[in-house]
Structure 1
């Protein structure tokens, strides 16, 4: 049954920066569908990492910025503005002149200008420590909102969602505590931060993820034995709390979707959040669907769909799927892949790829498949 024929339904989807964007956009265009996106803020690469170092305590804003813009048409000037990156050699004075230009551009940009001014004031007071080169303007807007709202990251995300008129309920999965992601591979190699996790690496699989109070620097970096690495990283663990809004969205929803994306940075770390596994187990959702990636990322090379589903279940503390953490696995293709099978879950094969963008999910086809899963599950329960 096509989504347009469905009764109103709530969808709560775990995602990252762009992996699930086509699915989210299609859900926004689906009558009756209300979407909550659950994201983590552990991004620490390049200009995002530089911004986090400049503002200690702040999570990475990039994935939130990308999802705040999902509803904007390609011709919307706010989209180009917030995705605009400052050039190499940009100075605080250059940023100030740009803000003045935006302030003079006319109505509609006042909230953006306000928060950019907040950030610019901080930069004027402490000009050292941040290279503005390649910084996305939208990240600086989020940073300004973060400073304006007493360094409350989740409040900044909500304020920016309202600023941009986003119809998505975009929630950080945690309470906003600062944390840094690290990983260990099977041979004991340490991936010291999120940028290493998503970057080129050996074919050895990642076997452990850690959320740390502080970024790793100094002699801990580099190849180490597994036990030594695990013990030391566990000692440095950050204290994380759940975002109550995220837990409520998981409990009170019709469909939970474990969206596509970079597994070991965008998705699996979110499942480490206390309370998330319990909220999923107690959810009223008719179905809990794992959407398989269409291609490997650097961090998932050599891992099959079954492997990634298994890791999801392990991180959600339901390795045998006894609590029904995953009810369906949705994969692209005409036939099921080898090793398709999981206690308590049904594997579904469908044509999910966007023909115009190979390796990317077609939003229309994937949402249609999700709607069919939900409808079939609801009918089965009713029968």
Structure 2
């Protein structure tokens, strides 16, 4: 079996599914991701390097293949995940770089080629920090994000080239693709009550019961003064103003190619209003999905709700996806199947009994399966995640069935 799978993904929400696909012989996996993250230390890094997208979700996807039981891979994961402590100075960052170069501490088993690439890119960033020491607090910065930043600077501020370089450095078997050509843009949203969510960090944070109704990709981040001005306006005016400030982004040709050439397209789970729906706003994505050779285009329902989808049912989430793809009635068959966990938890997006009885929503076939990772006392965080092997198996079965029906 040789199956090309392309999945729209964020940072961790679809990680289990991705690992399940990577563990399936004959499957080639492409992940289409956006770079609009600007929370906490990632936001600080983006402010320090104007023009750079957020690397965090790309960094998280470089962990998918790394086995913590393997010393070399554990060392690579340490580079990607280690957070700099509070009070870290540029000299402190240099000390960390030298520890990597000298193979000390958690970096001791890092393979030679990765060690050379990591230290080279971190030194590029450290030189920038030495020249411009103000404007960035290194506290809680993920070391892997600084590797990305160094690659970004080294490669002439080409974000997509930095993604490719880091994927090579960490030996990723995934085809990791930014959905755009790397244009800088910032998220903002409006809720039904008219309240403004001024950035991606606001969108994914705990919030009240009002659902998000509008999502915007902006040319510039909303600073405190601009936010206050917008919050003083009636919601309809705010919506109009933000609509005039939309960023112009262009699609990555490689991402479009991965979508068109896929045998299976997966709309992965995650935080929709930050990780997924913004990707569907990219011009050309919907057309690529419509023209894809994929036999199945499957929406995977979250097994738990995120802060940004409180009050939305599973069919609501399908409708949001279709709306952001510009096909609200699914006339172009951009979603052919919906896959949800057989037994919904109380805090999962609800699946109405009528939908289950019909086995259909918006013209897409609704499929249920046992998808959730079982409770495990040794891993208390696992319930709520998709089981890697079972979910990959269910998705590939949908694809096989759809391909067979197409051939008849």
**Aligned match of 1:15:** 9
* Pairing 1:338–2:344 present: no
Corresponding residue to 1:262 among 268, 271, 275: 271
Corresponding residue to 2:193 among 187, 194, 198: 187
**Aligned match of 1:306:** 315
Shift of 1:237: 1.0
In structure 1, C-alpha distance between the alignment counterparts of 2:76 and 2:333, rounded to whole Å: 42
In structure 1, C-alpha distance between the alignment counterparts of 2:299 and 2:391, rounded to whole Å: 12
Corresponding residue to 1:150 among 151, 156, 163: 156
* Secondary structure at 1:369 match in 2: helix
Output aligned runs, 1:204-243, within 5 Å. Answer: 204-217=210-223, 218-221=225-228, 222=231, 224-243=233-252
The superposition leaves residues 22-54 of structure 1 with CA deviations (integer Å, 9 ceiling, x where unpaired) of 110111111000000000000010000000000
Shift of 1:103: 1.2
Shift of 1:343: 3.4
Q: Is the 8 A contact 1:187 1:225 kept in 2?
A: no
Q: TM-score, normalised by structure 2?
A: 0.90
Root mean square deviation, CA, Å: 1.2
* Pairing 1:103–2:101 present: yes
Q: TM-score, normalised by structure 1?
A: 0.96
For structure 1, list consecutive stretches of 5 or more residues without a partner in the other structure. 1-6
In structure 2, C-alpha distance between the alignment counterparts of 1:371 and 1:110, rounded to whole Å: 39
* Pairing 1:85–2:83 present: yes
In structure 1, C-alpha distance between the alignment counterparts of 2:372 and 2:233, rounded to whole Å: 40
Output aligned runs, 1:15-164, within 5 Å. Answer: 15-75=9-69, 76-105=74-103, 107-108=112-113, 109-164=115-170
* Secondary structure at 1:145 match in 2: helix
Q: Which runs of 4+ in 1 moved over 4 A?
A: none
Q: Is the 8 A contact 1:9 1:32 kept in 2?
A: yes
In structure 2, C-alpha distance between the alignment counterparts of 1:148 and 1:66, rounded to whole Å: 21
* Pairing 1:251–2:260 present: yes
In structure 2, C-alpha distance between the alignment counterparts of 1:299 and 1:334, rounded to whole Å: 22
Q: Relative to structure 1, is the Cα distance of residues 370 and 201 closer, same or farther in structure 2, using a 3 angstrom cutoff?
A: same
* Deviating more after overlay: 218-227 vs 78-87: 218-227
Aligned residue pairs total 377
Q: Relative to structure 1, is the Cα distance of residues 367 and 337 closer, same or farther in structure 2, using a 3 angstrom cutoff?
A: farther
* Pairing 1:283–2:284 present: no
For structure 2, list consecutive stretches of 5 or more residues without a partner in the other structure. 345-350, 377-381
